[in-house]
Amino acid sequence: MELKLNNAVDCIGDFTYNFLWHHKGTKLNPTDRIPSQVGTSYTYEDIVEALRSGEDLYIKGNVGNRLGSSLGVDLCYFGGNGKEIAETGSIIVDGDVGSYMGMSMVSGAIYVRGEIKEPLGNVVEVKSDLEGYKKFISLTWLLHHPEASLLEPNEYRGDELVLKDGLIRSTLAARCRAPARIRVQGDTGISTGILMRSGTIVVEGNAGMNTGALLNGGSVVILGDAAEFTGVEMRSGVVLVAGKCRGYVGAKMTGGHIICRMTMTRPVPPVKERALTGEDIALLSDFGISGVLVMNYRRYEITKRIL
């Protein structure tokens, strides 16, 4: 499939249709014709269905934000199982790409000839098999299938994937189901670890809003500060914030727990402050927080699961 654009358009190949379940079609309807295309009349849905079936999309021209959002996800909202679609097609862009490319992406690949605006989504550059194009795959796919050739300075350190390129990524490790480890030597954007079921993320810098959103297992560790809504709609797992943890901690949380400084935290009821357990203290110690420093931290959880 080929799409020629004379202006940059947002949400091309966005499997969520800009979060259709939130706006109910007021911002983007799947059957809307994509604007600024030349010589074709594809809808947003045409593109998504082609990619789902394994067909590649060739784009001539610049692309806007959220290219390939949730690319390769069999979304539950549309009757799917929430897992990866292994045979998802690739997106090849002969032009520039806007921000948030590959948000929550889990499979497929994105090739780009031009420039890419930060922040990125859940993607990392690997060795390209298409001359003249940079190749990006999902970090989640890499954690599930660690066979791709990483480009320096990113590397594997034993069984841990270490991101050292300094790029800001949002939705890091979205939907990860593997007991894998990923470390970021720098900061992350929004929704780090969203919908993760297994694995460990360690961010050595700061994290944006919605860290651990919809977390359903595994651990998310932020050694710097975390912005608002940490643990929003969290279901299971652990979030640890060593630095400042801003307001609305645990909003709509139904399970799991959050460890952070009590003087920096404003939990949202019914989330309650509790004393640390032995396991919590051991986890803090793993990241250099021990002795009297532990006294600054508390455990935040709900007392009764909301059904």
136-176 pLDDT, tens digit per residue, is 999 999 999 987 789 999 999 999 999 999 999 999 999 99
Using DSSP, state whether 46 is helix, strand or coil: helix
Nearest Cα to 61, choosing from 7, 11, 120, 111?
7
Q: Do both 204 and 102 map to the same domain?
A: no
The sign of the dihedral angle between the CA atoms of 44, 48, 51, 55 is negative
Q: Do both 30 and 160 map to the same domain?
A: no
pLDDT number for residue 266:
75
Choose the final residue of a domain: 151, 175, 195. 151
Strand order in the sheet with 91-94: 2-4, 57-60, 91-94, 109-112, 134-138, 123-126
Structural domain including 135 reads: 1-151
Choose the final residue of a domain: 103, 118, 151. 151
Region 197-225 average pLDDT: 98
Token pair for residue 267? 């939990």
Q: d(Cα 245, Cα 231) in Å, to the nearest integer?
A: 11
Cβ contacts of 153 within 8 Å, gap of 6 or more: 164, 165
Q: Do both 238 and 166 map to the same domain?
A: yes
Q: Do both 158 and 291 map to the same domain?
A: yes
Q: Do both 276 and 288 map to the same domain?
A: yes
> Residue 160's CB: how many other CB atoms inside 10 A?
13
Do the Cβ atoms of 197 and 176 come closer than 8 Å?
A: yes
Using DSSP, state whether 50 is helix, strand or coil: helix
Region 52-77 average pLDDT: 97
Element (H, E) at 244: none
Choose the final residue of a domain: 126, 151, 176. 151
Per-residue pLDDT of 98-120, as tens digits, reads 999 999 999 999 999 999 999 99
What is the secondary structure of 91-108 as a DSSP string? EEEES-B-SSTTTT--SS
The position carrying tokens 């709609």 is: 233
Do the Cβ atoms of 268 and 234 come closer than 8 Å?
A: no
Q: Do both 170 and 116 map to the same domain?
A: no
Per-residue pLDDT of 5-63, as tens digits, reads 999 999 999 999 999 988 998 999 999 999 999 999 999 999 999 999 999 999 999 99
Q: Do both 63 and 77 map to the same domain?
A: yes
Q: How many distinct structural domains can be found in the chain?
A: 2
Do the Cβ atoms of 6 and 64 come closer than 8 Å?
A: no
Nearest Cα to 272, choosing from 299, 239, 294?
299
Q: Do both 113 and 17 map to the same domain?
A: yes
Peptide bond into 119 cis (omega under 30): yes
Q: Do both 147 and 164 map to the same domain?
A: no
Q: Do both 277 and 223 map to the same domain?
A: yes
Element (H, E) at 298: strand 297-302
Q: Do both 254 and 279 map to the same domain?
A: yes
Q: Do both 135 and 178 map to the same domain?
A: no
Token pair for residue 142? 């890499």
Q: d(Cα 189, Cα 172) in Å, to the nearest integer?
A: 8
Phi and psi of 143, rounded to 5°? -70, -35
- Please say if the pLDDT value at position 302 is more than 50: yes
- pLDDT category at 304 given cuts 50, 70, 90 is low
The position carrying tokens 């690949």 is: 109
Nearest Cα to 47, choosing from 62, 30, 61?
30
